Amino acid sequence: MSIQEFLIPLLATAITAGTPILYAAIGELITERAGIINLGVEGIMLVGAVSGFMAAIATGSPWMGLLASMLAGGAVALIHAFLTITLRANQVVSGLSLTIFGTGLSGYLGKSYIGIPVAKPFDIMPLGPLAKIPIIGPIFFQHDILVYISYGLVIVLWYYMYRTRPGLNLRALGENPAAMDALGINVFLLRYIYVVVGGMFGGVGGAYLSLAYAPSWLENMTAGRGWIAVALVIFALWNPLRALLGSYLFGGIDALGFRLQVLNVQISPFFLKMLPYLFTVLVLVVVVARHKGRLSTPGALGLPYDREER
């Protein structure tokens, strides 16, 4: 086997394996930029995965599934928004309870869907002439449509955050909500919107697993990807372009373990499965240590906003 025959499929799989993490990380990135930590991503992804799957089976359309996963992800995130923004609850514990609740809810709803194939998943759809470019084509442009949408999404989000007025407001929302409030901007409403939109992307991340990557439903099928997405946002220093790179890096580690198993390498599959988790810890430690703890964390991240205490 030539190096190309090994590398090109590996990199192509890195992209598909990284895409669910990318969607979830984008959702978390928006949420955290608005000043709210949401540790419920894992639960949101699971609920998104199961509701997308159920809707796709009921309607026969993966797009309806995608829509359902966005609505479900947004609805679960709304609980977090209400608890942390309106009721000023502890964001860490609220997020954890979201994950526990989402795990239970998805397990409950999905019980009778285990092992059922979905009639119409998101199929592979080579992207015209782009797919024919040597090396680049097979790596980037021979995937399903959700992958292509994610490319666009990252660019649009980057532009929105760094080149538009509302994007500037989003960044300020997580840095200094009191100043935004003084400018007459509705901090509470905006935070609600970004938390819910973030949850929608988390839902899409889950639906990508159940409607494109797997495509099937399995209890706890996210297997920690939601948590990896949370770690990835720190690795990305809250920048969508770095989040894209990071997602494919993690996807690559996932894919590597899988490829090595297929090639019958003499390493226990259990150790190969540990790779993404160990890699997450390692990357997090290296990134944080390199910045000596002074990351560009949004200044007001995790703090409830209280007008009276300005």
Contact call for residue 284 and another protein (CB under 8 A):
yes
> Per CB under 8 A, does 165 bind another protein?
no
152 near another protein (CB under 8 A): no
| Cβ partners under 8 Å of residue 199, min gap 6 | 27, 31, 38, 44, 73, 74, 75, 76, 77, 78, 80
Whole-angstrom distance, CA of residue 251 vs CA of residue 14: 4
Q: Angle CA(7)–CA(141)–CA(55) in degrees, nearest 5? A: 110
Contacting another protein (CB under 8 A), which of 71, 109, 145, 260? 109
Residue 292 interacts with another protein (CB under 8 A): yes or no: yes
CA 77/CA 38 separation, integer angstroms: 8
94 sits near another protein (criterion: CB under 8 A): yes
Position 119 contacts another protein (CB under 8 A): no
Number of residues that bind another protein (CB under 8 A): 52
Are the C-beta atoms of residues 208 and 56 closer than 8 Å to each other? no
Per CB under 8 A, which region of 158-166, 172-180, 187-195, 276-284 contacts another protein?
276-284
Q: Which of residues 49-78 bind another protein (CB under 8 A)?
A: none
Q: Does 100 help bind another protein (rule: CB under 8 A)?
A: yes
Kindly state whether residue 105 participates in binding another protein, applying the rule CB under 8 A.
yes
Which pairs with CB-CB distance under 8 Å and at least 24 residues apart come from 290-295? Answer: 295/234, 295/237
CB 257 within 8 A of CB 273: yes
Question: Per CB under 8 A, does 115 bind another protein?
Answer: no
CB 259 within 8 A of CB 269: no
| Cα–Cα distance for residue pair 199/208, rounded to 1 Å | 14
- Which candidate, 70, 63, 28, places its Cα nearest to that of 49? 70
Nearer to another protein, 120 or 273 (CB): 273
How far apart CA 59 and CA 167 sit, in angstroms, is 36
101 binds another protein (CB under 8 A): yes
Q: Decide if residue 82 touches another protein (CB under 8 A).
A: yes
Structural tokens at position 116? 């059922």
Closest to another protein by CB, 100 or 136: 100
Per-residue binding letters, 207-226, with another protein (x by CB under 8 A): ------------x---xx--
Asked if 264 touches another protein (CB under 8 A), the answer is no
Contacts with another protein by CB under 8 A lie at 39, 43, 79, 82-83, 87-90, 92-94, 96-109, 111, 219, 223-224, 227-228, 230-231, 234, 268, 270-271, 273-274, 277-278, 280-281, 284-285, 288-289, 292-293, 308-309
